Chains A and B, each alone.
Chain A
Amino acid sequence: MDLADTPLRRFLNEPVIPYETDDVTRLILDSHDSQAFSPVSHFTVGELREWLLDEETGDAALSAVALGLTPEMVAAVSKIMRAQDLVTVSAKRSVVTRFRDTIGLPGRISTRLQPNHPTDDPRGIAASVLDGLMYANGDAVIGVNPASDDVGRVETLLRMLDHVRETLEIPTQICVLAHVTTQLEALRRGAPMDLVFQSIAGTETANRAFGISLPMLDEAHQAALELKRGANIMYFETGQGSALSSNAHHGVDQQTCEARAYAVARRYNPLLVNTVVGFIGPEYLFDGKQILRAGLEDHFCGKLLGLPMGCDVCYTNHAEADQDDMDVLLTMLGVAGCNYIMGVPGADDIMLNYQSTSFHDALYLRSMLKLRPAPEFEAWLGRMGILEDGLRLRTARALPPVFERALTW
């Protein structure tokens, strides 16, 4: 009961990690909007839960209060919410972002097409991209995790992805998820770049373990803004346990550390943010039940803080989990209004060695819950003869000729 009775103000007055020692704490407190906070400022954690669940509290009220909520507050309230509570509140909140298409609209769910390859072979990656497109995936981003952080290879992959996207005139974005410094180097070399990516964490020292700092992210954000491609140009990934695994958690629980990473993301108005929920392994999330709980918590906390939250619904082979667990989390996130999930060929990432959601899984979710792709992407799928009525996959007799051209690289 202690947590439920804790006044929200206490999280402002007593930071869980000292202001003086951690720049994420400074970011959280310095950017706190007391005016936005005022509608909930007199609540305890338990009262915040009741207010969030109240039928009168809708998207507008949740949106208005977002900058008044801190990661510690939303992490605290998530701990006293059941799975259905997390879904109920998340489903009220839509966070919409735009680049070439519009992501996060109600009644829609997008996918990141993740065509990884163990040796970064451009044609192998292109093959996975085409398969994913034929299964109506890829409207959030076509994003490759490179096996090597080599700038030359990153540039090669960016040029290949840009070629495919241009040839097929796809209203989506491309990204190669190398370290941010490598992406900036590729950008300086003139590589085509849509989104700038980085993995982030919720403490200064955990970010240092990722080889990043807030000034470095500021610089990357500035460089991306100078391309004048719009306001939503960053892509971040997070995941519970990253601070703990680098011994950078300051005794704070891994879920609160995760929510603090969203404060870092929020600073840069990103197009996409997703938790890679089961990737870290059983050392941090032991089994399917813990992964389910963490996925729903992360999505809820991110949405409440105003982020365009997606989720990599996933597990590793050393965790006590399997496809059935993923089906449950996937379905609940669909009901919760998750912005996007991953699309990996056959759910098997042959480079990162874990299982995520497949192209087929996205079809299942869209079909069961009547969720459509991003509107611009839906129109493109219609023009290509891949999808009809926004929901039904057509039976292709062959790859469209223009797809064959995309492979000539």
Chain B
Amino acid sequence: MKISLNWIKDYVDLDGIDIKELWYRFTMSAAEVEDVEYAGRDIQNVVVGKVLSVVPHPESKKLKITQVDSGDGILQIVCGAPNVTEGILVPLAKIGGSVKKLSKLGKVKLVGVESFGMLCSAQELGISDDHSGLLILEGDYTPGTDIKSIIDIDDVIIEIDNKSLTNRPDLWGHYGIAREIAAIYGKELKPMQLDSLEGSENRSKVDIAVEDTEKCLRYSGIKLDGAAGLKTSINMKVRLFYCGMRPISPLVDLTNYLMLEMGQPMHAFDSRQVESGIVVRSTREPEIFRTLDGSERNLPEDILLICNKERPVAIAGIMGGENSEVLEDTTSILLESATFDGPSIRKGSTKIGLRTEASARYEKCLDPNITVIAIQRFVKLLKDMNSGITFASALSDVYCRKLEPVDITITKPYIDRYIGNNLPQEKMVEILRSLEFKVEVEGDTFEIKVPTFRATKDITMKVDIIEEITRIYGYDNIAPQTLNIELKPLEYNEERLTDHKIKELLSERFGASEVMSYIWYDNAFNARMGIETNGQVKVMNPQAQDANTLRESMVPGMLGFAEKNEKVYDDFSLFEIGSVFSAANPTEKCEQHKNLCVLLGSKIKSEDELFYDLKGIMTFIAKTLKNVIPEFSACSGEYNWIHPMKSVDISFDGKLMGYIAAVHPSIRKNIGRKVNAAVLEINRDVLHAINTEVIKYRDLSKFPEVKLDYSFLVDSGIMFDKLLEDIRGFKSPLLNSFDFVTSYTGKGLPEGKKSMTFRFVIGSSEKTLASDEINGFAKSIIDYMGELGYMLR
């Protein structure tokens, strides 16, 4: 919202106040000032000029040659404005002067004729966007008079962040802003000039019937006659323009001016269209209505309307109707000053898709107690335009839901404790009173009456009072206080620790890079890749229809990253810990937990290697985090990116944790022509829930161990798991442990066989093994294996 400093000065004396500091303090105490613009600074050396003569330009049809009294001699000026005529007073920018977009004017030749200055339009003075002709000054001004002494071109325009005013309906007009400034500086707030409405009392009232008293809190109206020959003063126009509104017609300008001043939207109906009176009702079924901007609006049900006895004439609080707007021949108006329910207006304007200056204010919950004051103010300003205004009706005022001042009792100790500093009691009272709170002091207790313009929703309880005191006092004036808090310790967030550990392991030990992806699928990507998902958790209002499904698996997103990165990297490892979601159907509440997903992509390693890398990584993680070895078994996962052969389930203690899989070839080929890929996806919560295996220390053997490596010939069809189980079946008191060393297939082996090498570590805690004991062990293991069909190679 834009605020004119000149306007503020109508109500607060700002003499001796530094303007920059003023807006800093306003930001610090009330609402954020986003921008300060010094209007009129670029307009220099412009005076009143009187056009003495106008003759056509010999060489140009458009241009004219004028002689202009500059008050300081007569100047020849070439002018192209269509409305230049003899005798008018216009702004004259002299040589060396500046106007919008033209600084330091010089003498120029226009189509061969010299021109010593420039006659200006309102646009060139920066006070309008009207460039249709010269700004003709009405009034009797001496040529040479500085234009800025006639028109308030110089002003400081402040842009306040609307967001910071959401809870302050009272700040949606200049008077409210002036009140804040007066409070901040401890200055007097001057009252507004009002008309007493004297002479209206004995007229008959306008018939106003409010049917929907939920949405209409108060409706005040008065009929005024004699509204002819009105003119909006140039300075009023400038203020409207500076505050972002376009002057339209005197009556509309005046309602806008009043809204900008008091924050109270008003509407002027042509009396002829509302002879029968006013009915305020809501639409019961959809209606079509043409608003004064010429648009046909489809109104759904439950929209509040202002109607005459026959038909709607306005959408309450949003926009008037074309059928009842004031016209050029309008001389009698019905002035509406009403308060509507904020949330209803907000809902209505969202439904219709029409947000206006008026609706923006109503949404904030305006104070119903200012409708009549606004009428008084309007009448005063209207009479300033035309003293012949008369009352054609008495004031009608239907006040359906009266808003009473809010009473709050608070004590100084309470305030001190909440602030953490002791503020002087007098200062507190002074601040509250400057904001028009009524305060009765009884010892250290304050009985406070909150003015209704603050009580529509903003201020309802004790802490609100504390905010008022502290913000005006200045948050920067509050001395920081260390705190003394005794805490019962909470459980430490172990999940977080698990996450951080996993991330460290993967990045530091395995050189993987952490990424973050969206929690919804990219349906288009999935389709392109042939990825099938069955996410049942749906977003109702996604940014794009392709992003309407929350992921049950992180793999599709990872594959998207793989596609992106394989173009640049030959070998890459990505991982992420993120949320996944599942539900039986879209209407059901979803289950959510965190998954860890790792993707290895490579043009160097085979997918088999990547698969085994992931198995190794998984084992490493489980061993490092939980001191356990995970169990791998045939993959039960059904996602179509899982390779049917090269995939395993990961579990521990019978609980399924996730899976490792080479990416299914039919999808892998879509990721990139040469890239191999494998993924690991586990439920982090299941991993986290595993009890860490306590480390049991074994005393070091005093006697050396012996390592024996044997390679066995194994049928290539036999899985490692089976072999392992068979070896585990071998019992010997000497065997401390055994490990898989390597496998070999290829030259030198019989057809259909692979060579599997194991290392057996044997020893005794009582003595050094003698060679016959070692040989004995060797014989027994070789015999044992041989019986199972695993011949020594």
**A and B pair up:** no
- Chain A residues at the B interface, C-beta cutoff of 8 Å: none
